Amino acid sequence: MAGFATKRLGKELSKINSNSLPPGIELVSADNFEEWFLDIRVLDNNPLYLNQIYRLKFRFSAQYPIEPPEVTFVKLADRPIPIHPHIYSNGIICLDLLGQQGWSPVQNVESVCMSLQSMLTGNSKNERPAGDEEFVRANRLRPKDIDFYYDDNNV
Amino acid sequence: MPPPNTPEEGLLPPQSEPSRIASILATATPPPTNSSLVQPSSPEAANTAAPTSQEDPALLEIDYQILEYLDTVDETLLCPVCKTPFHSPVTTTCGHTFCAWCINRALDIQPTCPIDRQPLTKTRDYHRPPLIIKDQLDRLKVKCPNKGCDHVCSREHLDAHYERRCEYTMVRCPDSKCKKRIARRHVQEPASTCMHREVSCRYCDEKVALVDLNTHYDYLCSGATTKCSACDATVVLHRMEKHCADDCPEPQIRCKWHIAGCKIFDKRYLVQEHEDGCPYEIIGELLKQRAEDRRIIDNLTDRLVTLETERREHQERRARRRELSRQATNTSRGADAIDLSAPDPSSFFFDMEWRPELANVTSGENRTWGSPEDYMLARFERLESRMEDLSKQVVEMDAHQSMSMLQQIMPLNQQLVELGSKVGVLNMHTTWLMNMQRHNHIQQRAGAASASTSGLSNSGMVSSNEINNNAVRPPSEGGLPYRSTSRRNSDGRGEPPPRL
Ligand SMILES: [Zn+2]
Ligand SMILES: [Zn+2]
Ligand SMILES: [Zn+2]
Ligand SMILES: [Zn+2]
Ligand SMILES: [Zn+2]
Ligand SMILES: [Zn+2]
Ligand SMILES: [Zn+2]
C-alpha cells in the first residue's frame, strides 16, 4: 500500500489544523509529507531554556509511522540548539523514543514534541553529551544511522 | 466478488450512454456535459493501475485509509497506528485493537505491542475484536471512494456498492486481450469491444480512445474551424452551437438578474459588463437566499412531521407493550405453577410485533434503527418476563430438590439411628464385661484370703453359666436413648451378648 506515511501525516496535519497543538509547540511549516518544521519551547522557568525557542526538523520515511521519523534540532539565527546531555551541538538528539527499538507506531509528531519538551523541562545539567566535539566533527552520517547507546533512561 | 461486467441490473451503464456516443459519432451535436468523462478511478487505481501480476484482480481493492467519513468518528474506533477507523480489526492478547494490516506491519519491525510493548506474535496473538466494535464500524456513514460518485452508505454496504453497483468503479475492459481498466458505466452492452480502441476523430486527424471521445470533442479537438458570423471569432465547427449559446458576445441576452426585475436586454458583452454592478443583484441574491431558506424550511418541516409521527407511533407501541406486560405479570402472579409453561402473553406479543421489524432491519439496504430505545425496551421487557419465568422455575426446582433430599436423607437417618443403638448395645456389653471381670477379681482375692479355692482352677475362663450365677447383670436399658429401636437386646439378661 503506497503512501501510508502520506495518509497518516495528512490525518495528523488536519488534526493539528483543527485542534491546534499543546502550548509551547507550534507548527512552522508542513509543505509536504517528507519534512516538517516545528518550534518548541519549555513551559516552566528552567533557567537553561528560559525565553528560548527551538526549531525541530522532522523527516518522515515512506514507512512512517511504522518507522520512526528522523528528528533533529536545527540551528538558526534566533533558534539555538538547546543544551542537554543528550543533545549534540549539531542538533542530533539521543532519545530512545526516536530509535528503532524505542519507537512505537502509535506515537506521532505531537507526542514526540511533547516528549522533547519534557526532556528539556526535566534537565538541570548544563552540559553536552560526552565526546560532543569529536562526534560533531566526525559525524557525517544521518542521525538514524548512528548507533546510540541508550544507557541512560532517565532523560 | 462478481466477475467483471456481469450483466446484472446494477451494472448496466445508463441507458443514455451508448446511444449518446452513437449519436455523437453520427451527428455533430456536442453532448450537453462532459463531466461524465472525467476519468473515475479508485484512489488506489492511480498507484496500482498498471497490474504487474499475471492474475489481474477483477476490481481494485478499496483503500480504507482514505475513505471519507461523514460524521466525526469516535476516537475509540480509530486505529492507533493509522488513525483511521479500523479496517478488519484484530484484538491482541494484551487487549489492544488495530487494523490487521497495521499491526502486521508494526510487528514486522518490532514484535511488541505498539501500545504497551508486550511481546506479540503475528496471528497467533490475535483475537476477534468484540462484536460491538464491528457493529459500530459497520454503521459509520462513508462516501463512495470512486471519483464522480457521490453515493453515501453505511460502511458495511460499501463493498457491495463498490463491487456490484457503483457505475464509477473501474472494471476490467470487456475485451479480454486489453489489460486496461474502464469505468463500469462506459462498458457497452453487449460487452465485447474494447473501449480503449482508438477511433479517428470526425473533425481532426487525431486518434482518440473511444472512452475519451466526448472529452476530446468538447475540449481538445481542434478540427476544421470557421468564423462566427456574429462575432468574427474563430470557432471549431462542431462547437459552433455551443459558442452561440454560451460564449458569443454578439447575440442579445437578458441580464442574469432579470428574475429580480432587471430589464436590461442587450448584446452579451454589454450585459456581462452591466451584470457586475447590476442594482438588482442584491434583490436577486435575497431571492435566492429566500428560496434556499424556503427549501431548508420545507425539508425541516417534512422531517419534523415524520419524526413526530414516528414518535407518536413509538409512544403508542410502548404504551401498549407496557400495558400488556403489566397484564402478563398480573396474570402470572395469580396463576399457579402449571400456567408458567404456557406462552407468556407478552412474549407472544413481542413475537408478533417485533419479528417483522427485525426482518426489516436485517434485510433492508440501509439499517433503519429508527427506534433503538424502543427496540431495547422491547428486548428488556422480554428479558424481564424471561427472568420472571426463570425465577419461578428456580423456586420450583428448589422445592423439588429439597423433597428429593429429604427422601434420600430419611433412610440414611434411620440407618444412623440404628447404628447409634448398636453402639449403645456395644457400650452396654462392654460395661457388663468389665463389671464381671471386676467381680471375678474381687471373688478371687476374697477366696485366696480365706484359703478356700472354689473358683481357682478356672481363673481365666468364665462360662456363661457362671456369669449367670454370679448375678452380674447387664445394665438395664431403661436410661438409654435408643430404646424404641433396640429390639434384640430388650431382654438380654439371660442371653449371651447380642451379635453386633
Ligand atoms: Zn497491547
Ligand atoms: Zn490501522
Ligand atoms: Zn459509488
Ligand atoms: Zn480496453
Ligand atoms: Zn478532433
Ligand atoms: Zn460568435
Ligand atoms: Zn441587470
Q: What is the pLDDT of residue B91?
A: 95
Q: What is the pLDDT of residue B204?
A: 81
* Residue partners of B345: CB distance under 8 A and separation at least 6: B324, B327, B328, B331
Average of pLDDT values for A92-118? 91
Residue A76, pLDDT > 90, answer yes
Average of pLDDT values for B212-229? 80
> Cβ separation of A66 and B84 shorter than 8 Å?
no
Average of pLDDT values for B103-112? 91
When pLDDT is cut at 50, 70 and 90, the band that residue A87 belongs to is: very high
> Cβ separation of B84 and A4 shorter than 8 Å?
no
For residue B229, the CA-to-ligand 6 centroid distance in Å is 6
Residue B456, pLDDT > 50, answer no
Partner residue facing B106 (CB), from A8, A12, A66: A66
Using CA atoms, how far apart are residues B347 and B381, in angstroms rounded to an integer? 9
Give me Rg for the CA atoms of chain A: 15
Min Cα separation B321/chain A (Å): 47
In B, minimum Cα distance to A13 occurs at B83
- Contact between B181 and B173 under an 8 Å Cβ cutoff? The reply is yes
> Cβ separation of B83 and A8 shorter than 8 Å?
yes
In A, minimum Cα distance to B62 occurs at A1
CA dihedral B258, B260, B264, B265 (to 10 degrees): 10
User: Looking at the complex, does the CB of residue A111 fall below 8 Å from at least one CB of chain B?
Assistant: no
CA distances from A146 to A71, B94, B137, B260 (A): 13, 33, 42, 72
Which residues are within 5 Å of ligand 6 (an ion), measured at CB? B 228, 230-231, 248
- Of B471, B470, B473, the residue nearest B458 (C-alpha): B470
Contacts of residue B108 in chain A, CB cutoff 8 Å? 66
> Cβ separation of A1 and B65 shorter than 8 Å?
yes
Under DSSP, the state recorded for B78 is B
For residue B234, the CA-to-ligand 6 centroid distance in Å is 8
Among A104, A107, A110, A153, the strongest candidate for a mutation testing the B interface, having the largest count of B CBs within 10 A, is A104
Which residues are within 5 Å of ligand 4 (an ion), measured at CB? B 173, 175, 178, 180, 194, 196
- Give this complex's ipTM: 0.78
Task: Name the more confident of B14 and B87.
Answer: B87
Q: What is the pLDDT of residue A133?
A: 86
Give me Rg for the CA atoms of chain B: 50
What is the DSSP annotation of chain A?
-TTHHHHHHHHHHHHHHHH-PPTTEEEEE--SSSEEEEEE--SS--TTTTT--EEEEEE--TTTTTSPPEEEEE-BTTB-PPPBTTB-TTSBB--GGGSTTT--TT--HHHHHHHHHHHHHT-----PPTTHHHHHHH--S-GGGS---------
Return left, alpha or beta for B83; rule: phi > 0 is left, psi -120 to 50 is alpha, else beta.
left
3-state secondary structure string, B396-426?
Answer: HHHHHHHHHHHHHHHHHHHHHHHHHHHHHHH
Q: Kindly report the CA angle at B220 between B217 and B222, in degrees rounded to 5? A: 85
- Of A26, A20, A24, A23, the residue nearest A49 (C-alpha): A24
Average of pLDDT values for B73-99? 93
pLDDT averaged over every residue in chain A: 87
Closest-approaching ligand to the CA atom of B125? 1
Q: What is the pLDDT of residue B298?
A: 93
Average of pLDDT values for B257-269? 86
- Of B167, B173, B136, the residue nearest B150 (C-alpha): B167
Min Cα separation B148/chain A (Å): 21
> Cβ separation of B80 and A67 shorter than 8 Å?
no
- Contact between B314 and B374 under an 8 Å Cβ cutoff? The reply is yes
Q: Helices in B99-237 by DSSP H: which ranges?
A: 100-109, 131-139, 158-160, 213-215
In B, minimum Cα distance to A101 occurs at B110
DSSP SS3 for B207: strand
- Whether the ω angle into residue B345 lies within 30 degrees of 0, i.e. cis, is no
> Cβ separation of B65 and A106 shorter than 8 Å?
no
User: Looking at the complex, does the CB of residue A106 fall below 8 Å from at least one CB of chain B?
Assistant: yes
Partners of A73 in the beta sheet? A56
When pLDDT is cut at 50, 70 and 90, the band that residue B80 belongs to is: very high
Which among B62-71, B183-192, B335-344 has the top mean pLDDT? B62-71
> Cβ separation of A104 and B117 shorter than 8 Å?
yes
Residue B333, pLDDT > 90, answer no
Residue B264, pLDDT > 80, answer yes
Under DSSP, the state recorded for B279 is T
pLDDT for B396-428, tens place per residue? Answer: 888 888 888 888 888 888 888 888 888 888 888
Using CA atoms, how far apart are residues B399 and B393, in angstroms rounded to an integer? 10
Average of pLDDT values for B17-41? 37
Handedness of CA B229, B234, B240, B246 (dihedral sign): negative
C-alpha cell at B72: 466525526
C-alpha cell at B184: 463500469
| Residue B299 burial (C-beta neighbours within 10 Å; 0-12, 13-18, 19+) | exposed
> Cβ separation of B114 and A106 shorter than 8 Å?
yes
> Cβ separation of A4 and B82 shorter than 8 Å?
yes
Min Cα separation A38/chain B (Å): 21
CA distances from B359 to B10, B140, B372 (A): 24, 21, 15
User: Looking at the complex, does the CB of residue B81 fall below 8 Å from at least one CB of chain A?
Assistant: yes
Q: What is the pLDDT of residue B45?
A: 39
Contacts of residue B96 in chain A, CB cutoff 8 Å? none
Partner residue facing A7 (CB), from B65, B106, B110: B65
Residue B273, number of CB atoms within 10 A of its CB? 11
Residue A84, pLDDT > 90, answer yes
Using CA atoms, how far apart are residues B199 and B160, in angstroms rounded to an integer? 34
For residue B252, the CA-to-ligand 1 centroid distance in Å is 73
Residue B439, pLDDT > 80, answer yes
- Contact between B92 and B114 under an 8 Å Cβ cutoff? The reply is no
Give me the residue label for grid cell 417534512. B302
Q: What is the pLDDT of residue B338?
A: 46
Give me the residue label for grid cell 400488556. B324
* Residue partners of B458: CB distance under 8 A and separation at least 6: B466
Q: What is the pLDDT of residue B334?
A: 54
Using CA atoms, how far apart are residues B251 and B274, in angstroms rounded to an integer? 15
User: Looking at the complex, does the CB of residue A154 fall below 8 Å from at least one CB of chain B?
Assistant: no
Using CA atoms, how far apart are residues A95 and A115, in angstroms rounded to an integer? 9
Which residues in chain B (105-134) have CB-CB distances under 8 A to chain A?
A: 105-106, 108-110, 114-115, 117
Model confidence, pTM = 0.49
> Cβ separation of A105 and B84 shorter than 8 Å?
no
pLDDT above 90 covers a percentage of chain A that reads 61
Among A14, A18, A66, A103, the strongest candidate for a mutation testing the B interface, having the largest count of B CBs within 10 A, is A66
Q: What is the pLDDT of residue B401?
A: 87
Amino acid at B128: R
Residue A53, pLDDT > 70, answer yes
Residue B339, number of CB atoms within 10 A of its CB? 12
Average of pLDDT values for B116-138? 92
Average of pLDDT values for B323-340? 65
When pLDDT is cut at 50, 70 and 90, the band that residue B160 belongs to is: very high
Q: What is the pLDDT of residue B58?
A: 80
Catalytic residue numbers of A read 94
Q: What is the pLDDT of residue B230?
A: 79
When pLDDT is cut at 50, 70 and 90, the band that residue A65 belongs to is: very high
Which residues in chain A (35-74) have CB-CB distances under 8 A to chain B?
A: 63, 65-67
For residue B236, the CA-to-ligand 6 centroid distance in Å is 11
Helix (H) or strand (E) holding B200: strand B198-200
Handedness of CA A71, A75, A80, A82 (dihedral sign): positive
Q: What is the pLDDT of residue B13?
A: 35
Residue A121, pLDDT > 50, answer yes
> Cβ separation of A7 and B84 shorter than 8 Å?
yes
CA distances from A82 to A47, A58, A59, B49, B262 (A): 12, 16, 19, 48, 68
Number of helices and strands in chain B (H, E): 12, 13
pLDDT for B225-247, tens place per residue? Answer: 788 887 888 888 777 888 888 88
Contacts of residue A66 in chain B, CB cutoff 8 Å? 81, 105-106, 108-109
Amino acid at A67: E
Q: What is the pLDDT of residue B329?
A: 75
User: Looking at the complex, does the CB of residue A101 fall below 8 Å from at least one CB of chain B?
Assistant: yes
In B, minimum Cα distance to A3 occurs at B47
According to DSSP, the β-strands at B181-183 and A70-74 are unpaired
Under DSSP, the state recorded for B54 is S
CA dihedral B390, B396, B399, B401 (to 10 degrees): -70
CA distances from A71 to A60, A63, A138, B144, B150 (A): 9, 15, 19, 37, 40
Using CA atoms, how far apart are residues B151 and B10, in angstroms rounded to an integer? 14
For residue A147, the CA-to-ligand 1 centroid distance in Å is 27
Helix (H) or strand (E) holding B170: strand B170-172
Average of pLDDT values for B316-336? 77
Q: What is the pLDDT of residue B498?
A: 47
pLDDT above 70 covers a percentage of chain B that reads 70
* Residue partners of B302: CB distance under 8 A and separation at least 6: none
